[in-house]
């Protein structure tokens, strides 16, 4: 999932809709993110290309809304509610996901198995 | 000479302990390795090296394991305990021969240097005195007198330099002449002779009245000689100080290896430097430690025998020996297993004995206390000097020490006398038990032991190149003594190319690389 500067990024994505859960005055989604353009991409265990500075799902809590919606660990988040997530800082990503006035977040995530499935289907 | 090889430190024993000839000693094993083909004829009955620690039982015990036990001849050729054995005669003649040869060469070199020194000293004085004797030159004015004073001091410096460089006592005997020193002495002689010639022809024959000129001439001679001394210092002393070669010295019996740095020396001087370092650094040569390897080798050979069924005898073709080696390799040899377990057992045994020894020595040392001055006047009864104190506490640790030495096969290196002396020494100098034990726990350099163990004062230098040629990269030579040899290989220290790189102190900048995880 590396990018070539100047060329549009193409990926096979899955739409995931997560309803936020209200838990004592907090709206939580039930997963953790890692990555960002201000972080060290070499330490990301989920990325295939170690220069990829995108936002990755590092943990999905059991029984949470994210797991129920089908989010899997290691997914790369491409868009959140229409906002791009491939070139954001870690803090910007966190803010996009935790807006207090939104109850539902619609994510576009990609993972390796999606690409493989599409390729196998085309053969 | 047939029994030449017996001249060594060994031969001192038979002279000393003449009254205790005992057959079946371990030293027979040594004499067999020395004599080689001469073992049938020459008989050397060497008594044991020194009084062993407690009786001879330790020595006999080892004899049983020696595979070559039955093969040495022990015929006694009519020497009784009280007459001189053949070994003694050999030793005496060798001593005489050696001492005459040694003294001759040493004194010859010394006399030559002394004569040259006298010549150098007296020549300028002769130059100055002869005009006054033979004819009357002009009187000396101020400049001339100043020159005379400087001449006197320069002569003094020259004398000291000659004494320091050329008249030193020789500390070793080298096989060939020291080339540089000989050349320098020749050069000095040449200079002096040419100055004399010039003096005789120009000054004496013409009866020059100008004394100032004569004094200047004498001063110039002394200057030339001082410059030759400077050359001598550079060639003899300084040239070999800068490290140019790295030599690797390996002992042939147990493979102990050291590396030394040497300058540009001739092979014989390099050998001398290596030997001086050998006595200081290498652990003492202990033949008892090598017997295990020899018995293993004997077992390897004894396993396979090749018989020639048809064809003439003694016709070992190369194919036959190769077949033997191949068969030996294929044979299921379990000696590696034995070696492994044997080494493990030995290590455990040594450690156990060492623990007992340390405890025994520590306990023994607690019985002794240094007495203060005031107490000395109060209780005059029990006062002992260090030697008596050592003898008093020695029995309590003697057994543990003997067992430990026997386990590590060092018992022939230390006599009871030497141990007690060492103990008295440690007590006198307020050493702890650990300091006392240090010399027994690990084998020290050869110089630490008694004189009998400075076995090889006579070394043979074996070299393919001439021994006065300089060291070169890859030159190899051997230093042989009776028990073992030292293999010396040289390597030139490589030419080092050093370049510099400047780092701006402001260029040390760092960034933080994080990978944080946020839960949403």
Taking one residue from A and the other from B, the number of pairs with CB-CB distance under 8 angstroms is 40
One-character DSSP codes across B465-481: S-TTSBP-TT-EEEEE-
* Pairwise CA distance, residues A46 & A73, whole Å: 8
Token pair belonging to B42: 């020459």
* Facing B514 at nearest CB: one of A33, A39, A61: A39
β-partners of residue A17 are: A106
SS3 state of residue A55: strand
| 8 A C-beta contact, residue B399 and residue B416 | no
- As to burial, measured by CB atoms within 10 angstroms (0-12 exposed, 13-18 middle, 19+ buried), residue B4 is exposed
* Facing B520 at nearest CB: one of A39, A43, A97: A97
One-character DSSP codes across B203-250: IITTT---HHHHHHHHHHHHHHHHHHHHHHIIIIIITTTS--EEEEEE
| 8 A C-beta contact, residue B191 and residue B228 | yes
| 8 A C-beta contact, residue B250 and residue B257 | yes
| 8 A C-beta contact, residue B296 and residue B335 | yes
Interface test with A, best of B513, B518, B520 (most A CBs within 10 A): B520
Q: What is the pTM of this model?
A: 0.61
Mark yes or no for CB contact B520/A58 under 8 Å.
Answer: no
| A58–chain B Cβ distance below 8 A for any pair | yes
Alpha carbon of B115 to those of B122, B184, B199, B329, B405: distances in Å?
11, 14, 21, 69, 55
Mark yes or no for CB contact A34/B514 under 8 Å.
Answer: no
CA distance B517 to chain A (A): 5
* DSSP code of residue B283: B
Angle (CA) B437 B406 B389, round 5°: 40
Residue count (chain B): 520
Q: Name A109's Cβ contacts closer than 8 Å, sequence gap at least 6.
A: A13, A14, A16, A57, A71, A75, A76, A77, A78
| B516–chain A Cβ distance below 8 A for any pair | yes
Q: What are the sequence ranges of the domains in chain A?
A: 13-122
Q: Name B488's Cβ contacts closer than 8 Å, sequence gap at least 6.
A: B247, B248, B249, B250, B270, B271, B274, B476, B477, B478, B479
**A30: region left, alpha or beta (phi > 0 left; psi from -120 to 50 alpha):** left
Torsion of CA A8, A13, A19, A22, to 10 degrees: -70
pLDDT in tens, chain B (520 residues): 444 333 333 434 433 444 344 444 444 444 443 443 343 343 333 333 443 344 333 334 344 444 555 455 555 454 444 455 555 555 555 555 454 555 677 778 778 888 888 888 899 888 888 888 887 777 778 888 899 999 999 999 988 888 887 777 777 777 777 888 888 889 999 999 999 999 888 877 787 778 888 889 899 999 999 999 899 888 888 888 888 999 999 999 888 999 999 998 889 889 989 998 998 888 888 887 777 777 777 777 666 666 667 666 555 566 767 777 777 677 666 778 888 998 999 999 999 999 999 999 999 888 887 777 666 666 666 778 888 888 888 999 999 999 999 988 888 888 888 899 999 999 999 898 999 998 888 888 877 776 666 655 788 899 998 888 888 899 999 999 888 899 999 999 999 999 999 999 999 998 877 788 888 8
What residues of B are in contact with residue A31 (Cβ under 8 Å)? 519-520
| 8 A C-beta contact, residue A113 and residue A4 | no
With CA atoms as reference, the chain A residue closest to B516 would be: A34
* Pairwise CA distance, residues B214 & B260, whole Å: 52
Tell me, which fold does domain A13-122 have in CATH?
A: Pdz3 Domain (2.30.42)
Mark yes or no for CB contact A33/B515 under 8 Å.
Answer: no
What residues of A are in contact with residue B518 (Cβ under 8 Å)? 32-34, 90, 94
| B518–chain A Cβ distance below 8 A for any pair | yes
| B503–chain A Cβ distance below 8 A for any pair | no
* Facing A94 at nearest CB: one of B513, B515, B520: B520
Secondary structure, 3-state, B68-99: CHHHCCCCCCCCCCCCCCHHHHHHHHHHHHHH
With CA atoms as reference, the chain B residue closest to A35 would be: B515
| 8 A C-beta contact, residue B461 and residue B274 | no
Q: How many CB atoms lie within 10 A of CB B143?
A: 11
């Amino acid at each position: 999932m590396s990018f070539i500067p100047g060329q549009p990024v193409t990926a096979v994505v899955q739409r995931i809709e997560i309803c936020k859960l209200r838990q004592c005055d907090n709206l939580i989604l039930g997963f953790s993110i890692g990555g960002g353009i201000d972080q060290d991409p070499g330490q990301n265990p989920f990325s295939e290309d170690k220069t990829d500075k995108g936002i990755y799902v590092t943990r999905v809590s059991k029984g949470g809304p994210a797991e129920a919606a089908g989010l899997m660990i290691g997914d790369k988040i491409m868009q959140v509610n229409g906002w791009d997530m491939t070139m954001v800082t870690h803090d910007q990503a966190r803010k996009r996901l935790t807006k207090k006035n939104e109850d539902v977040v619609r994510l576009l995530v990609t993972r390796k198995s999606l690409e493989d499935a599409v390729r196998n289907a085309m053969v | 000479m047939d029994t030449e090889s017996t001249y060594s430190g060994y031969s001192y024993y038979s002279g000393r302990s003449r009254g205790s000839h005992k057959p079946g000693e371990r030293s027979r094993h040594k004499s067999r390795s020395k004599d080689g083909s001469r073992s049938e004829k020459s008989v050397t009955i060497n008594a044991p090296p020194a009084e062993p620690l407690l009786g001879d039982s330790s020595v006999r015990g080892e004899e049983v394991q020696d595979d070559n036990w039955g093969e040495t001849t022990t015929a006694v050729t009519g020497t009784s305990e009280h007459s001189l054995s053949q070994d003694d005669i050999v030793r005496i003649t060798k001593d005489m021969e050696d001492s005459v040869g040694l003294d001759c060469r040493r004194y010859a070199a010394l006399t030559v240097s002394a004569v040259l020194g006298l010549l150098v000293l007296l020549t300028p004085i002769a130059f100055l005195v002869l005009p006054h004797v033979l004819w009357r030159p002009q009187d000396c004015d101020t400049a001339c007198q100043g020159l005379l004073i400087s001449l006197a001091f320069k002569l003094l410096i020259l004398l000291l330099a000659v004494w320091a460089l050329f008249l030193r006592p020789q500390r070793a005997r080298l096989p060939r002449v020291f080339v540089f020193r000989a050349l320098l002495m020749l050069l000095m002689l040449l200079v002096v002779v040419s100055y004399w010639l010039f003096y005789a022809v120009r000054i004496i024959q013409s009866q020059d009245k100008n004394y100032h000129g004569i004094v200047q001439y004498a001063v110039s001679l002394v200057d030339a000689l001082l410059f030759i001394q400077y050359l001598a210092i550079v060639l003899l002393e300084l040239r070999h100080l800068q490290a140019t070669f790295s030599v690797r010295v390996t002992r042939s019996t147990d493979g102990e290896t050291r590396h030394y740095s040497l300058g540009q020396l001739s092979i014989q001087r390099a050998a001398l430097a290596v030997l001086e370092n050998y006595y200081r650094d290498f652990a003492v040569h202990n033949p008892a430690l090598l017997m295990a390897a020899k018995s293993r080798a004997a077992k390897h050979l004894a396993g396979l025998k090749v018989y020639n069924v048809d064809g003439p005898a003694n016709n070992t073709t190369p194919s036959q020996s190769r077949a033997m080696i191949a068969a030996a390799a294929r044979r299921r040899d379990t000696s590696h297993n034995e070696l492994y377990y044997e080494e493990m057992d030995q290590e455990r045994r040594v450690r156990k004995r060492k623990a007992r020894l340390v405890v025994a020595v520590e306990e023994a040392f607690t019985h002794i206390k240094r007495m203060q001055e005031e107490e000395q006047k109060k209780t005059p009864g029990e006062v002992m000097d260090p030697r008596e104190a050592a003898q008093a506490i020695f029995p309590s640790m003697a057994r543990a020490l003997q067992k430990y030495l026997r386990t590590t096969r060092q018992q022939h290196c230390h006599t009871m006398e030497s141990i007690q002396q060492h103990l008295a020494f440690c007590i006198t100098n307020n050493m702890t038990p650990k300091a006392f034990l240090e010399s027994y726990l690990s084998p020290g350099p050869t110089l630490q032991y008694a004189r009998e163990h400075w076995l090889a004062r006579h070394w043979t230098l074996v070299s393919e190149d001439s021994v006065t040629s300089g060291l070169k990269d890859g030159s190899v030579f051997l230093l042989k003594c009776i028990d073992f040899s030292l293999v010396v290989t040289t390597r030139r220290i490589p030419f080092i190319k050093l370049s510099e790189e400047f780092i701006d102190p402001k260029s040390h900048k760092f960034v933080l690389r994080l990978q944080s995880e946020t839960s949403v």
